[in-house]
Amino acid sequence: MERSTRQRTAIRAAIQRSGQPLLAQEVLELAQSAVTGLGLATVYRNLKAMVDDGELRLVLLPGENPRYELAEHAHHHHFLCRGCQRVFDVPDCPGDLRTLAPKGFLVEDHEVTLYGRCIDCSMRRPPRSRRAS
Ligand SMILES: [Zn+2]
Ligand SMILES: [Zn+2]
């Protein structure tokens, strides 16, 4: 029991510190320094339990493996970088999208995902030849 508390604390801290939705593999990489012998299967098991407990929320983008974020975040959206495949939080919301729906349809929720290049990838120049003289 104590060990599982330690695992969950490390996983939560890793997601909190990164400030962005993480893949299980990324959670493992960030949390394994805090918990010796932590493996991917254990990370998955904890992530699932933490989603079931309402502590974490799944971020499911089309064609992407599930990512995890803290459930306490207010309504927000995501940016998927096509350069590095990382997902970032977008705090802003376009607001009321009800007018987009066909007449007579009731909108209950919406998801907005932006695709493009994050600041790191957009500033990265194409690699140059190292031997250029
Ligand atoms: Zn990027
Ligand atoms: Zn929104």
Asked if 61 and 70 touch (Cβ cutoff 8 Å), the reply is no
**Separation of CA 75 and ligand 2 centre (Å):** 6
Q: How far apart are CA 100 and CA 102, in angstroms?
A: 7
**Separation of CA 102 and ligand 1 centre (Å):** 35
**Separation of CA 113 and ligand 2 centre (Å):** 10
- Give residue-wise pLDDT tens across range 5-15: 899 999 999 99
Residue 15 tokens, joined: 């997601």
- Give residue-wise pLDDT tens across range 55-75: 999 999 999 999 999 999 899
Q: Write the DSSP assignment of 94-118 as a string of letters.
A: ----GGGSPTTPPP-----EEEE--
Q: Binning pLDDT at 50, 70 and 90, where does residue 44 land? A: very high
For residue 130, what pLDDT is reported?
54
Ligand with the closest atom to the CA of 92: 2
More confident residue, 37 or 86: 86
**Separation of CA 53 and ligand 1 centre (Å):** 31
CA atoms within 13 A on the CB side of 94: 11
**Separation of CA 92 and ligand 2 centre (Å):** 7
**Separation of CA 19 and ligand 2 centre (Å):** 19
- How far is it between the farthest Cα atoms of the chain? 67
Question: Apex CA 89: angle with CA 85 and CA 93, to 5°?
Answer: 125
Q: How far apart are CA 77 and CA 93, in angstroms?
A: 7
**In which order are the strands placed within the sheet that holds 113-116?**
87-90, 77-81, 113-116
**Separation of CA 87 and ligand 1 centre (Å):** 8
**Separation of CA 50 and ligand 2 centre (Å):** 24
